[in-house]
Amino acid sequence: MQHHGDDFRGHRRGRTKKGPRSSALLLIVLDIFLLLCKFKQRKIKVQKQKYFKQNRGQLLQQLLSQKADIAERMIIPLDELTKATNNFDKARELRGGGHGTVYKGILSDLHVVAIKKSNITVQKEIDEFINEVAILSQINHKNVVKLFGCCLETEVPLLVYEFISNGTLYDHLHVEEPRSLTWDSRLRIATEIATSLVYLHSSVSIPIIHRDIKSSNKLLDDTMTSKISDFGASRYIPVDKTGLTTRVQGTIGYLDPMYFYTSRLTDKSDVYSFGVILVELLTRKKPFSYLSAEGDGLVSHFVNLLSEGNLVQIIDPQVMEGGTEVQEVATLAASCINLRGEERPTMRLVEHILHGLQVPRGITKMVS
């Protein structure tokens, strides 16, 4: 019996010797895990700092330094946008394209936003992008999509805009149904776009040329109010200059031919693109794909029919409810798409004419 008891105690002592070894091993594994986590966090932090520097974060801070409250609000941490989009979940994608992907997100302050992940990779473009963000941060107009800020802690900068829920002007115009937007709505939207361009061209401290005006970047909110968006191609013009020479950028069908051939960008390039939108509103034809039986593009065919007094061939039947206003808008559109840039009207004059067309209607409605 004694012998067996000794064996049992010996066995128990042998088991207790393994305890410290197991605890030590567990501590070593835990230390390694914590070190790896620390290393990973440091690596992420270094990478964020690298991207922030690469994306000219210091330049943006410097440009915004005179308005510290704007600077603090404009530069948004990556963690905030990761949470806002559920780690950039594919289900949050609104649309994608050649210029990047747009995600829907909800910020910690409960603002619903659209987060644009750009495809910019060239350092020169990043420098220009930062300058544009600094300018756009100071824009506040009801017909311009509000820029909340940007994130510079990723390989390419992220832009954060207010979320506009009702699609684009292009979406509403080019539906399969025979009827689209009413003539009143089209005229009002055209006036709102004109107003936003007047603001960009002449009401901000440094005039801005949008450079890519088209129906697909004119967003409509819940009240069908138009908001101009997509300032990725925009350029600002120093106040002492009338234009600048730059790499041609824009969308086929809307692109100013004079700018295309000379690379000289002026505010009249936006006027041309706006004229194309007026033609699109009048005809419901797509500027980038339309070809007449004679092989003419939309702009050429429209101008030819207008000069022949035969616009009825191309005008959307629904807009005929606009009466004489349709002819006036058609004439205005033709002046905007004049091949000679210097003969095009300014956006201020265009806005004035469009407002003038709406005033009589407003008075009539009040009287009736």
In sequence order, what are the beta bridge partners of 297? none
Query: Which carries the bigger pLDDT value, residue 249 or residue 70?
Result: 249
CB 152 within 8 A of CB 51: yes
Distance CA 168, CA 162 (A): 14
Higher pLDDT, 287 or 20: 287
Single-letter amino acid code for the residue at 283: T
Asked if 60 and 133 touch (Cβ cutoff 8 Å), the reply is yes
Backbone dihedral angles phi then psi of residue 239, each to the nearest 5 degrees = -60, -20
Q: What is the mean pLDDT of residues 214-230?
A: 92
At 141 the three-state DSSP class reads: coil
On whether the CB atoms of residues 265 and 254 are closer than 8 A, the answer is: no
Domains and CATH numbers, the chain: 59-162 (3.30.200.20), 169-367 (1.10.510.10)
Distance CA 176, CA 197 (A): 30
Q: Name the band, by pLDDT with cuts 50, 70 and 90, for residue 173.
A: very high
Phi, then psi, of 94 in degrees rounded to 5: -90, -45
Of 131 and 13, the structure prediction assigns the larger pLDDT to: 131
Q: Is the pLDDT of residue 207 over 70?
A: yes
Judge whether residue 95 has pLDDT over 80.
Answer: no
Active-site annotation, residues? 212
Q: How far is CA 333 from the centre of its chain?
A: 25
- Give percent of the chain above pLDDT 70: 74
Side-chain-side CA neighbours of 340 within 13 Å: the count stands at 2
The C-alpha atoms of residue 299 and residue 297 are separated, in whole angstroms, by: 6
What does the alpha-carbon distance between residue 321 and residue 304 come to, in Å, rounded to a whole number?
23
Residues 6+ apart with CB under 8 A from 250: 211, 212, 233, 256, 259, 260, 269, 273
Q: What is the DSSP letter of 344?
A: S
What is residue 366's predicted lDDT score, i.e. its pLDDT? 35
Average pLDDT over residues 137-144: 86
pLDDT at site 46: 62
pTM: 0.77
Instruction: Compute the average pLDDT of residues 170-195.
Output: 93
DSSP 160: E
Whether 185 has a pLDDT exceeding 50, the answer reads yes
- Residue 358's pLDDT band, with cuts at 50, 70 and 90, is confident
**What are the tens digits of pLDDT across the range 275-285?**
999 999 999 99
Instruction: Check residue 8 and give its pLDDT.
Output: 46
Cβ atoms within 10 A of the Cβ of 318, count? 15
Is it the case that residue 20 has pLDDT exceeding 80? no
Of 9-23, 108-122, 333-347, the range with the lowest mean pLDDT is 9-23
Percent of the chain with pLDDT over 90: 44
Q: pLDDT tens-digit profile of 43-93? A: 666 656 566 555 555 555 555 555 555 556 678 889 999 999 999 999 998
Q: How much is the pLDDT for 129?
A: 67
Q: What is the pLDDT of residue 60?
A: 56
pLDDT tens, 286-342?
Answer: 999 988 888 899 999 999 999 999 999 999 999 988 889 999 999 999 999 999 999
d(CA 95, CA 220): 16
pLDDT over 50 at 359, yes or no: yes
* pLDDT tens column, 150-159: 887 877 778 8
Q: What's the mean pLDDT in 219-233?
A: 88
pLDDT of 23 > 70? The answer is yes
Report how far Cα 58 is from the mean position of its chain's Cα atoms: 23
Helix (H, G, I), strand (E, B) or coil at 125: helix
Q: Which of 214, 178, 202, 222 is nearest to 298 (CA)?
A: 214
